[in-house]
A and B are shown apart, each in its own frame.
Chain A
Amino acid sequence: MIGASIRRTEDRRLLTGRGKYAADFRLPGMLHAAVLRSPHAHARLGTIYPEAARGLGGVVAVITARDLAGVGRIPVRLGPRPSLIACLQLPLATDKVRYVGEPVAVVIAESRYLAEDALELIRADYEPLAPVVDCRRAVEPGAPVLHEAISGNIVDRLSTHTGDAMRALAAAPVRVRERFAVQRHTGVPLETRGLVAAYDGGTRVLTIWGVAKVPHFNRRVLADLLGHPEHLIRFVELEVGGGFGVRGEFYPEDFVIPWAAMRLGRPIQWVEDRREHLMATNHSRQQFHEIEIGVSRDGAILALADRFLADLGAYIRTHGVIVPELTAALLPGPYRIPNYSCEVLCVLTNKTPTGTYRGPGRYECTFVRERLVDLVAKALGVDPVEVRRRNFIEPDEMPYEVGGASLGQRTVYDCGDYRSAFETALAAVDYKAVRAEQAAGRRDGRYLGVGVGCVVEKAGLGPWEYARVEVDGSGHVVLYSGAAAVGQGLETTLAQICAQELGVPPEAITVIHGDSALVPFGVGAFASRGASVAGPAALEASRKIKAKILRVAASLLEAHSEDLVLEDGAVSVRGVPDRAVTFRELARAAVPGPPGMDPGLVATHFFEAPKMTYPYGTHAAVVEVDAETGQVWLRKYVIAYDVGKAINPMIVDGQLVGALAQGIGGALLEELVYDEQGQLLTTTFMDYLLPTAMEMPEATVVKILEETPTPLNPLGVKGAGEGGSSGVGAAIANAVADALAPFEASVTALPLSPDRVLALIRAGRER
């Protein structure tokens, strides 16, 4: 079962329209919420006048910060640091608003239509302040300050040092220096956020439906903010329409809606609309790098020194400063870099707060590093692939300590054969043939380019995950996982692992996740940890229950457990198929069961994962650029990616291609654009451009590699969720730069819109 591309057990309900997402959930008497958001990027918030809205028929309540007096700020989930506390967000704005879209009031009404009518009747006094929109400006003296509690807009400084980068740079025979910019863009799942909250005043149980990603953590946050006991709060995940890092973090609405449901004693549904989503849900990725590399004359990297600004938006949200931290930790990538330094300024601006987006920090650092490597090749006059071949860390150097740390762990690559994945990608893209076609094309005025992007990802973040396997009284196997589903096929993947151990078909196993009443412990779905942390937990729990099944069977069949055969939901004595007991019989006999056994066919396992895994691979893009219009056409795209072990290769392939599409969006199309006043201009799907089927490459080749299973877990799985995205900005930018080499175009920023590409051609010509 492990390694089989079986079709997914989730799909039937999704294909027939029976999957229930947050917006599909209904309760009798349910009310609907709508959020009033700040129209200003930066303003003092004066009096709010909710009376007219309260007077509208069908309106039940209008909630402002006054109603929430004393409620605390939303805490950091990953990497809390004392320096960040002053800049955390309150559920509703109090005396100041700091970005367009910041929640100011919430209307609760009999329908969403009425709630939106009521929003139009709320007036609020704002005293506009000068906004600071560009983080490069925000660090200058005299720039407007967002949070008076910290001096200036730099909320934190991070630094990483290995060796002595400055000295090594000074001594390096060849040095290349460049500035790079990655634009603000984000996950944008097709389902917007949403939740339903209901409070039972009798039992005092508060239930939230529509939670995602990290339900157990968020339940604790809500319990703390409400001052309501954790065991009286139940979180229930429904279907989740895509996560990508942004969904499932604790947002202001995740407090206000449950709070209102408790106050009003009626169920409340809130469903974010798309316009809100683009201004309220975490943004990501915006960074400005100034980087220098020193190499020997034969291309060996001697030193790398980077300094960058990370634009974190108006508040610190649940991810703290981990996106810049991960950028700095993984910037060295697959290359041996003896001297490395990175200085980071984490900067606040009057824009939507930020968090992680698939491949956080890696999409950014891979773009920067891989562009720089291509510039080294140019400086040395060699093909870019040769510089990479010169510098890969070799398999016999593993585990490899990079220097630096993130998420409280030193960066130590577990295992890998970077060169092998690289050569696989080059073979799949037919690198030599593309170079020949490029040369021929240039003679006809066609501009083809090929670019590579080598990726070292990070996955399998612990610290642990929970699994419990039960055989119920009717003989069905039920797997309870502390992980969460965000559309990635968690149920199928975990069922395959469990099925392998228990000898039942995966479709016969029910996988339950995301319900805090049924799954008491859990960490969740992020950092490509489903297969690599929840998977081993499921494996170990399955092994434990298998032992119990055999023990009960041995007692019933009066046989030694070594003589028993477990298959098709029954246990029989080897060679005597008639002497058999079914799971149904075993489950019933297991209470109290044989003396000395914990009663019941149930087994629990906490899998601890103190170290992360580092999946890796190479992206290769072939593009053609219309040098008259600036349009970029993707002719071919290759990803060779080592996941250690693929539980379901079809699902892994789907993860990689899906991530590729998002990466293409970041490379060519997607950008959250603000004007100088801090107004977000991209608040619709006509302005924020997700790739369609027409923008995907003409040919896509995915090579799933299993050459280096990780020693860090019993499955050898590294993780597959993010590496399809991380290398795309790099590979496409390198390919476009390669295509435009005759024009000396300098590709240093994303996205490569036609306008920007044409400007690069012009600027190159002028040089």
Chain B
Amino acid sequence: MKERTIRLTVNGRPYERTVEVRKTLADFLREDLDLTGTHLGCEHGVCGACTVVVNGEAVRSCLLFAVQLEGANILTVEGLADGDNLHPIQEAFWEHHGLQCGFCTPGFLLTLYCFLKETPRPSEAEIREAISGNLCRCTGYHNIVIAARAAAEKLASAGPTP
């Protein structure tokens, strides 16, 4: 069995695709669904650039095979904004210069998306710990931490999100 057919939901949209069993989730998203916002920075689970949300939890998409995602609900960076309205975390990154080259950014956004749901009022230390599995080579993290805190405030004042 070198191939399998899977059905899953990505960014609210159902897909059915036949994939080679060895294809990683990251490559599946990028190649089969053309969702290239999920980036590959190391392909061995260290850099966090490929982080996506699977059934509500942030995971490394380079360390999963697409065939394992049968029935899963996945959120990628492409699904974060509501049309032209950026998600508050995206807004905060923009406002506070939390990105430079932008390559690692999708992974940070999705990591924080999960983190802020679970920890709506984080301390700076908690934010640093939460993003410690995501590498950024441009910003020195300083503005990412500031953006995360600002996003937490925005989300708290906006009330619970779906």
**Residues in chain A within 8 A of chain B (CB atoms):** 7-8, 10-12, 14-21, 23-24, 26, 113, 187-192, 239-242, 244, 273-274, 486-489, 650-651, 653-654, 657-662, 684-686, 690, 692-694, 696, 700
Contacts and interface: CB of A to CB of B under 8 A. Distances in A.
Contact of A16 (B78, B100, B134, B140): B78
Contact of A12 (B30, B42, B94, B100): B94
Contacts of B80: 16-17
Contacts of B41: 190-192, 274
Given A690-B135, A694-B129, A8 B37 contact: no
A117 to B, nearest CB: 10
Nearest to B105: A14
B103 interface: yes
Contacts of A192: 41
Interface stretch (B43-51, B113-121, B152-160): B43-51
Interface in B109-137: 109, 127-129, 131-137
Interface in B65-115: 76-78, 80-81, 86, 90, 93-95, 97, 99-106, 109
Interface of A is mostly: loop
Nearest to A278: B42
A394 B12 CA distance: 64
A662 B35 CA distance: 30
Contacts of A658: 100, 137-140
B23 interface: yes
B105 to A, nearest CB: 6
A488 B109 contact: no
Contacts, number: 172
A17 B140 contact: no
B39 A15 contact: no
B106 A17 contact: yes
Count class of interface residues, chain B: 35 or more
A193 to B, nearest CB: 12
B142 A692 contact: no
B44 A487 contact: no
Given A26-B34, A239-B102, 6 more contacts: A12-B86, A16-B86, A191-B101, A274-B41, A658-B138, A686-B46
A190 B101 contact: yes
A700 B37 CA distance: 31
Contacts of B39: 21, 23, 190-191, 241
Contact of B95 (A7, A19, A190, A241): A7
Contacts of B135: 190, 685, 690, 692
A11 to B, nearest CB: 5
Contacts of A12: 86, 94
Contacts of B109: 15
Contact of A11 (B23, B99, B140, B144): B99
Contact of A273 (B43, B93, B99, B141): B43
Contacts of B139: 654, 657-658, 661
A540 B37 CA distance: 37
A419 B14 CA distance: 64
A662 B136 CA distance: 10
A489 B138 CA distance: 11
A343 to B, nearest CB: 34
Contacts of B102: 10-11, 14-15, 19, 239, 241, 487
B17 interface: no
Nearest to B37: A17
B36 interface: yes
23 contacts: A7-B94, A11-B102, A15-B105, A17-B37, A23-B40, A189-B103, A190-B104, A190-B135, A191-B39, A239-B103, A241-B104, A244-B137, A487-B103, A488-B101, A489-B100, A654-B143, A658-B100, A658-B137, A658-B140, A684-B42, A685-B135, A693-B127, A700-B140
Nearest to B128: A693
B64 to A, nearest CB: 16
A684 B47 CA distance: 10
B145 interface: yes
B100 A661 contact: no
A113 B90 contact: no
Given A10-B102, A11-B99, A190-B104, A696 B141 contact: yes
Contacts of B144: 693
A654 B97 contact: yes
A241 B135 CA distance: 13
A702 to B, nearest CB: 9
A486 B101 contact: yes
Contacts of B129: 693-694
Given A241-B102, A654-B97, A113 B22 contact: yes
Contact of B36 (A20, A650, A700): A20
A190 B137 contact: yes
Nearest to A16: B81
Given A20-B36, A685-B135, A693-B132, A241 B30 contact: no
Contact of A17 (B36, B94, B127): B36
A201 to B, nearest CB: 27
B34 to A, nearest CB: 8
A191 B136 CA distance: 10
Contact of A190 (B133, B136, B143): B136
Contacts of A11: 93-94, 99, 102
Q: What are the 6 closest A-B residue pairs judged by CB atoms, nearest first? A: A17-B37, A487-B101, A14-B102, A241-B103, A661-B140, A17-B77
Point out which of A14, A188, A486 has the most chain B C-beta atoms below 10 A from its C-beta: A14
